[in-house]
Amino acid sequence: MPTLASAATLDTTVAAAPAGYTATDDNRIQLEKIGAVSVKAAPAEVTPQIVEAPTTAIVLVHGAFVDGSEWNKVVPLLQAQGFKVVAVQNPLTSLAADVAATKRAIAEQTGRVVLVGHSWGGMAITQAGASDKVSALVYVAAFAPSEGQAANDLGKEFEPPAGMKRLRSDDTGYLSLPPEAMADDFAPDVPKAETNLMAVSQVPIDSKGFDEKVSVAAWRTKPSYFIVAANDRMMASDLQLSMAKKIGAKTTILKTSHAPMLSQPQQVADVILEAARR
């Protein structure tokens, strides 16, 4: 919705005023500078002017083993600041499919876009973020690959996190987390009632996607932000730090699990808002 602002606030730089001017004179001098009124015919009160609401849209891209509802605590915080918010629903059938879903969400926006990816979602925003509409990238405990890299290429130098050792696969190669791993490893700082729902509604991911490589790395040309989850049991915190350094991201470290948007939504929202307001 448009917001109202007084015309007198549009320019706070005032030229030298005549000797003996009053506060009313000062206001009239400023208004004369922006052409709102003349000095001789200034009204007692200034008619408000329309200032457009933010035109930036924030597109949120979820990771593996979850769906777009993982952003539910962050969405209202962003909307409260006047931003349009879209949560992509990744099919998790392949990297190509998730990139396509993200690109569709970007294409639907009329203004610039801040692209936010959690975990596996970092792969999608790295590829899809090359769009001219994208003004910034935000990685939330997420993969940040270089050109020609797949998720399985990242983190080989680090010990596999506890949660990744508990993945289970079905006969078709789709991976999921057992309920106890969702509670103990994915989001141990989130109430058990929430992790129970997450386990029940999780979206399995096709394991073949972890070998798909990105062909571009949008972070090379876009301002980037990175939230490192210091207590992560799904992605090594040291890997996150190394990726944040590699991409030159402004980095925030939160003492959370792999799901900071659930345990510290305000802090996550603050980083996203900083990117949206730049």
> Domains along the chain?
3-51 (no CATH), 57-277 (3.40.50.1820)
CB atoms within 10 A of CB 31: 21
What's the pLDDT score for residue 3? 41
Residue 160 main-chain phi, psi, to 5 deg: -60, 130
* Banded pLDDT at 89 (limits 50, 70, 90): very high
What's the pLDDT score for residue 10? 33
3-state secondary structure of 126: helix
What's the pLDDT score for residue 33? 39
pLDDT at 105 over 60: yes
pLDDT at 214 over 60: yes
pLDDT tens digits for range 106-137: 999 999 999 999 999 999 999 999 999 999 99
The closest alpha carbon to 52, from 114, 4, 100, belongs to 4
Torsion angle (degrees, nearest 10) of CA 219, 224, 227, 228? 50
First to last CA, the chain: 21
Q: pTM of the prediction? A: 0.81
pLDDT at 19 over 50: no
d(CA 176, CA 182): 10
d(CA 192, CA 185): 12
What's the pLDDT score for residue 42? 46
pLDDT at 8 over 80: no
* Banded pLDDT at 41 (limits 50, 70, 90): very low
Sheet containing 84-88, strands listed edge to edge, beginning at the edge strand earlier in sequence: 84-88, 57-61, 113-118, 134-140, 224-229, 250-254
Q: How far is CA 21 from CA 4, 26, 31, 38, 67, in A?
A: 28, 7, 15, 16, 62
pLDDT tens digits for range 236-245: 999 999 999 9
- Do 92 and 64 contact (CB within 8 A), yes or no? yes
pLDDT at 39 over 90: no
* Banded pLDDT at 45 (limits 50, 70, 90): low
Residue 193 main-chain phi, psi, to 5 deg: -60, -35
* Banded pLDDT at 216 (limits 50, 70, 90): very high
HEC secondary structure over 155-183: CCCCCCCCHHHHCEECCCCEEECCHHHHH
What's the pLDDT score for residue 55? 87
